Amino acid sequence: MRIADRYARTQPSEMIKIFQATENMKEVLNLGIGEPDFDTEHDIIDAAAAAGKNGFTHYPPTQGYLDVREAVCDYWKRHHSLESAPDEVLLTAGGLNVPYLAIQALFNPGDEIILIEPYFTQYAAQASACGATLLQIETKEENGFVPLASDLEKAITPRTRALILNSPCNPTGRVISRERMEEIAVIAQRHDLIVLSDEIYESMVHKGVHVPFASLPGMKERTLTMGGMSKSHCMTGWRMGYVIGPKELIKIMTVISACQTYGVNTMTQKASAYALYNHDAKLVERKNIFAERMDYVAGRLNKMKRVTCANAEGAFYLFPNIKGTLLSSSDFVWKMLENAGVAAIPGTAFGKSGEGYIRIACTRSMDVLIKAMDKMEEFCSAL
């Protein structure tokens, strides 16, 4: 069958290949999974059931129920001092629907979008499918995998329209400091860039506080803040995300979203509003659990032969340096899976700058992490 040119060369990513390989492996210690290991809290599930029983079983407004958009505004104001109004919010089918809608709404073929490596791979696929050109900026571990302002500025051409940021970052677990954000903001202003700021891990900043990019002076009118329920409230399966941005752009994205999904599941919306108002204590509890696991795993990695691991400041990912093993990221990961039964994701799944690194997700219990680190230590010693 003939596949559309724009998808004809689509191949499973390196991450998908690892997921497929581990699917039927019973004994694997899987540190490749990018979602919290906690189930959704039962009172959130009860809120969804109650909404269904109260008649919320019909088509929702395509932008999302007003009270749910109000809950999003209230959450961001309460947690991050970001002011917004419900008409600046669109609810989406998962956070990942946000860059898709934004890219469709904003870019023509040939427009350039800056992506900072290592990056969450799906953005690239979405941008390429709409014909936008990707400018991939390499970053370095010694700079916290955050680009230098000078590198950003050098890459910008008259066709550059946007910049995608992700802090806390998947895959590095690094957080962009306020100072670095301010430097980026100056560049965004100077070159009139739109900033798509993926802040889906906003509830998991372990050191310091989360700074929404839109809260910097002059940035609100050019920033789309992407968030969602998946990571913060352990609701990956519910597929609920949202975007906060300029009202005019939200209107267009709502129209595109209506053609695509016709709104977000009604019961998911109502349960999300309940969760946004009632689960602050749980967010802190889980953030601390992830921080404790990450400290433990980073400590173990730093004692291993040929491996080093910088401290991460957020999310639940570590991005250890395995250059001392002289193996490529991909070889390291496949050999470790085969010989030690431990799964991780090659750094190159997130762009070229990921060569020499692997992504470890601390999304398993301490028991599993201890076993996995024991196995990985043996594996590295034997290399």
The site for ligand PLP (CB under 6 A) is made up of: 34, 94-96, 120, 166, 170, 198, 200, 228, 230, 236, 241
Written as six digits, the tokens of 300 are: 């173990």
* Least distance from ligand PLP to the Cβ atom of residue 44, Å: 15
Strand-pair category, 317-318 with 358-361: antiparallel
Q: Letter for the amino acid at 316?
A: F
Nearer to ligand PLP, 20 or 54 (CB): 20
Nearer to ligand PLP, 300 or 364 (CB): 364
* Least distance from ligand PLP to the Cβ atom of residue 229, Å: 7
Written as six digits, the tokens of 72 are: 């999003």
Residue 64, phi-psi category: left (phi > 0), alpha (psi -120 to 50), beta (remainder) = left
Nearer to ligand PLP, 126 or 325 (CB): 126
Nearer to ligand PLP, 35 or 141 (CB): 35
Nearer to ligand PLP, 32 or 320 (CB): 32
* Least distance from ligand PLP to the Cβ atom of residue 101, Å: 12
Local structure of residue 311 (DSSP, 8 states) = P
Sequence-ordered list of residues with C-beta below 8 angstroms from that of 185, at least 6 positions apart, any chain: 213, 216, 217, 218, 219
Spatial strand order of the sheet with 133-137 comes to 89-92, 241-244, 223-228, 194-198, 160-166, 112-116, 133-137
Nearer to ligand PLP, 40 or 236 (CB): 236
* Least distance from ligand PLP to the Cβ atom of residue 168, Å: 8
Is 350 in contact with 118 (CB distance < 8 Å)?
Answer: yes
Local structure of residue 357 (DSSP, 8 states) = B
Helix, strand, coil distribution of the chain in percent, nearest 5: 50, 15, 40
* Least distance from ligand PLP to the Cβ atom of residue 147, Å: 17
Q: Is the bond into 320 cis (omega within 30 degrees of 0)?
A: no
Nearer to ligand PLP, 32 or 341 (CB): 32
Nearer to ligand PLP, 232 or 325 (CB): 232
Q: Letter for the amino acid at 317?
A: Y
CA gap 92, 89 in Å, rounded = 10
Q: Three-state SS for 30? A: strand
Rounded to the nearest 5°, which phi and psi values hold at 183? -65, -40
Nearer to ligand PLP, 96 or 135 (CB): 96
CA gap 185, 168 in Å, rounded = 17
Neighbours of 328 (CB within 10 A): 16
* Least distance from ligand PLP to the Cβ atom of residue 242, Å: 9
Q: In which residue are the tokens 């230590």 written?
A: 377
Q: Three-state SS for 150? A: helix
Is 76 in contact with 277 (CB distance < 8 Å)?
Answer: no
* Least distance from ligand PLP to the Cβ atom of residue 8, Å: 25
Mutual orientation of helices 97-106 and 122-129 as an angle, nearest 10°? 30
| Number of helices (H), then strands (E), in the chain | 13, 12
Nearer to ligand PLP, 94 or 118 (CB): 94
* Least distance from ligand PLP to the Cβ atom of residue 198, Å: 5
